[in-house]
Amino acid sequence: MKSIIYADNAATTKLDIEAFEEMKPFLTEEYGNPSQPYSFAKSQKNALKKSREIIARSINAEPEQIFFTSGGTESDNWVIKEFGVPTDEKRIITSSIEHHAIINACECMRASNRATVTFLPVDSKGLVLTKTLEEALKYDRQSNSYPASTLVSIMMANNEIGTVQDIKELCRISHNQEALFHTDAVQVVGHLPIDVKELGIDFLSASSHKFNGPRGIGFLYIKNGNLSILHNGGMQEKGLRAGTENVAAIVGMARALENNCKRIKENAEHISSLERKLLNSLSDLSFVRNGSNNCLPGNISLSFKGFEGELILHRMDLMGICISTGSACDSVNTQTSHVLKSIGLEEEYAIGTIRISLGKDNTEQDVDEIAYALHRILNS
């Protein structure tokens, strides 16, 4: 396999080698079912307990508030579809730039008449304005058909443009109007410090493969219940999500998260330094940088007028460099990104958008080669 430069870390990340090593015994030696009472299952039970504790510490939660899932999409769907009392009339308030796991789940709830849904607009930087949320909640309060259960779901940081929201304030506003608050933190967990107690949130979604853990595993933080059963069956995850646990993946997720959190400041500084270097190297080119001033380190959304993002991506690929044009989960959709539409980016810029997402394993040489490749493509 030829050497590549991987700059698509918002899509997925390289598996942490220590996480991989810690997973191995649970695939080949300690393979018992943790639900069984015999001693051979004890190591699996202990591994689940330890992993839950590690993950809880990483976001300042309690172990009993951590529920294992298959990833961010499942965690998001669980909250959107099962919050509150099942028989209650429900309302969901979310933003127009959420991941499709949230948007499509909300549309499903609306189509099946299980909830009314309000999509909040964002400003040109991708920020949800507190005034907009306040007005949506106040209008709801004054309605004669006020739902018994209201959920506000706002992502902590956007996967396409990197904008980080003021989750603490948005949560405070929601709670003032007796609404539950969920945040999709898939892009943030393991990359920026998170304290769920300080934020006050009710639910938080996370996905292992975004912070150097294995794929197909994630977790959902649930503060005080308020969710119905996702899968019926056994009593795994307190009977809320039945199914034999993937112990190897859970162990790998916990180790990867623990390792990232130990170096969270160092990694962020390294990635931010690479980001500054790249942008300085591209300063002679004409482009629009999307997102707010408070962005995820290394998440760089650039729009070039007169070019096609897909063409830039494929040219970069031929040069051994992996980038994207936006969300990896929507890469087959050739329509303009809903995120770019929501921030009001002109169509001629939107079609020329690429996303470079740098990670902790990227180097200054990687950045030099990315800048060189972009100059070759855009000046040819």
Radius of gyration of the chain (CA): 21
Amino acid sitting at position 67 = F
User: Which one from 106, 108, 171, 329 is the annotated catalytic residue?
Assistant: 329
Residue 183 contacts by C-beta under 8 Å, 6 or more apart in sequence? 153, 154, 155, 156, 165, 167, 171, 199, 201, 203, 204, 205
* Burial of 270 (C-beta count, 10 Å sphere; 0-12/13-18/19+): buried
d(CA 139, CA 118): 11
CA 97, chain centre distance (Å): 12
Active-site residue, 329 included: yes
Q: Which residues are catalytic?
A: 329
